[in-house]
Structure 1
């Protein structure tokens, strides 16, 4: 059993809960073998789970992750899988770049409002409330 993992062993190694592993199994992304009533995961399952977690961390949907993993079965040389990954990475990066631009614009607008309100308070001889917001 040196290259096999129980639910708890794999969960602990990957920093997830056993429930997380069962969730991805229910979604069809993992298919561990059984020894009696126990699930046992092999190196392939471990590698798939690492890809799933990385995909989730990068913001990919379960459908996108499943599509990528399914290409392992039909694409012997990996070329189509790499093409799909490249396309998805570019799409995700474009979305994040737009979000960053929107976030930067929002932060700049809030800073402008903050300056206007602080100036209005100063004109009225009132000090801004300390300890709430602001750079720091």
Structure 2
């Protein structure tokens, strides 16, 4: 196959900032922000940033980490672990400990939210009962 007919494999696909942002549903500013923080390290062709498939995967992991509530520092640690030697048991133990800590935090938040929702539901029912017991609004004009 010639250069013009060969389709690049997924791992060979390259992206500009805008293309990568569009592909993942974020803004170009978001991509640049994570680059500025050292979480993404694209290649450069002159002034143009060139992102490889590896960068796309890293950005997916960054976005997932943010969605799960991890700090940028924690996300960087996880990305470093992702790129590290997978045979290092201590790194895996550390990751497991941090993930379990985050799970515990989220469970505590979930319990607090359930309690708050219960209190709000009681207040809503109390307001409905008060509305039913209240006299009709006398400020309205008769027609």
- Which position in structure 2 is the counterpart of 1:15? 25
For the structure 1 residues 97 and 72, does the alpha-carbon distance in structure 2 shift closer, same or farther, using more than 3 Å as the test? closer
- Which position in structure 2 is the counterpart of 1:53? 63
More moved, 79-88 vs 38-47: 79-88
More moved, 81-90 vs 3-12: 81-90
- Greater C-alpha radius of gyration: 2
Distance 1:48 1:21 in 2: 11
How many angstroms does 1:87 deviate by?
2.1
User: What does residue range 1-136 of structure 1 map to in structure 2 within 5 Å?
Assistant: 2=8, 3=12, 4-77=14-87, 79-125=89-135
Bigger relative contact order, structure 1 or 2 (CA pairs below 8 A, ≥6 apart): 2
C-alpha distance after superposition, 1:10-44 (max 9, x if no partner) = 11111111111110000000111111111111122
| Structure 2 residue ranges without an equivalent (≥5) | 1-6, 138-143
For the structure 1 residues 118 and 66, does the alpha-carbon distance in structure 2 shift closer, same or farther, using more than 3 Å as the test? same
Alignment TM-score, normalising by the size of structure 2? 0.75
Distance 1:93 1:85 in 2: 12
- Which position in structure 1 is the counterpart of 2:141? none
Number of equivalent positions: 127
| Structure 1 residue ranges without an equivalent (≥5) | 128-136
How many angstroms does 1:74 deviate by?
4.5
- Which position in structure 2 is the counterpart of 1:130? none
Once superposed, what is the RMSD of the aligned Cα atoms?
A: 2.3
